[in-house]
Amino acid sequence: MSKISGLIIVAILAFTLVSCTSPRKKIESEPYTDDFYEKTQLIMLKSEAKVYKHLPDQAAKEDFIEKFWKKRDPTPGTEENENKMEFERRIEFVDQFFKEQVGSGRGWETDRGKIYVLLGAPDERTTGQGSTLDRFGQLKRVLKEIWVYNNYRLILEFIDRDELGVYRLRNWNMALLRAIEQAKFKIYQEKEKEAEQEWLKFKPSFKNNELIILIPNKHITFDEKENGMSAHFKINLYIYHNYKKVDEMEVTRDVSDSKEAFLNKKNIQLTIPYTLSTRGRYLFDIIVKDMISGSSSREMLNYKY
């Protein structure tokens, strides 16, 4: 055997070993957390996805998963997390009924599956035939499904252009995008409560080692008594430094004043002292709950120190 032939064989063997080992290691690594991300990215906020992708190891990912569902637990004092259970039920449902013979084939990656996972079952669902223009400008018969969500005031139209069981949402409008952003935080909510409660809104900022939360009065439910009015809040705070969670806390804030004083204010200001010790990029994940109405909301604040 010549020297050149020997080198070629060695190179081929080395390439074969790398090809056999590297991809397998990648596929088998952290199947639990990878499966979690594949599905929950549907309901993740952009900042959450960014944090998750930068987590250094399995332990950090498991801690993230625990906190991810904790933040979405509508009844934290009980063993069951209705949001998590409802999410898993919807994933199972769409994987059974909305599979399509394209891409991965998984139901929760189809247009109908994504909408169902995010918004739940429509109040009305009808199927039928319609028509659309093909690329040559000619009318073409298509299959269609119409989904109606009364609470979100949405009418969604899914079109199967080739009658192969592959449905595409015709229009992603702003009303749908707003509904999706709201649903990412609260998948499970009782219908009657959803109609009664106005979505709590607040604006966070950070200045002079204080987290400042401004809540418009019109979004607050007050406890009114003879001697004045009061409001009660619970705040859950998760703090990340350079994409790594460094702290978390739960605090309560009570605000009391005369009725006249509240009427003359547009906002209530809540403050939480917090000292930043290390330079870098910070992410504050903030959940504020109005303890009187039960309404809650969530905001992310990026801060460079």
The pLDDT of residue 33:
60
Structure tokens at 255: 């605000």
The model's pLDDT over 154-172, given as tens digits with 9 standing for 90+, comes to: 999 999 988 888 999 988 8
User: 11-15, 117-121, 174-178: lowest mean pLDDT where?
Assistant: 11-15
Structure tokens at 148: 């109606």
Q: What are phi and psi of 155, to 5 degrees?
A: -125, 115
**pLDDT confidence band for 32 (50 / 70 / 90):** low
Q: Catalogue all structural domains in the chain, each as residue range(s) with its CATH number.
A: 82-194 (no CATH), 197-304 (2.60.40)
Classify each residue of 213-230 as buried b or exposed e, where b means 16 or more C-beta atoms within 10 Å of its C-beta. bebeeebbbbeeeeeebe
Q: For 78-181, where are the E strands, in sequence order?
A: 124-133, 139-149, 154-160, 168-169
The model's pLDDT over 55-82, given as tens digits with 9 standing for 90+, comes to: 888 888 998 999 899 888 888 888 899 9
Smallest CA-to-CA distance from 46 within 303, 305, 299 is with 299
Non-local CB neighbours of 291 within 8 Å, separated by 6+ positions: 232, 233, 234, 252
The residue assigned the tokens 């969500």 is: 149
Given a contact cutoff of 8 angstroms between Cβ atoms, the answer to whether 115 and 97 are in contact is no
Q: Is the pTM of this model over 0.75?
A: no
- pLDDT above 90 covers a percentage of the chain that reads 47
More confident residue, 289 or 132: 289
Q: What is the dihedral of CA 236, 241, 243, 245, to 10 degrees?
A: -50
**Amino acid letter for position 233:** F
Backbone angle region of 294, left / alpha / beta, with phi > 0 → left and psi within -120 to 50 → alpha:
left
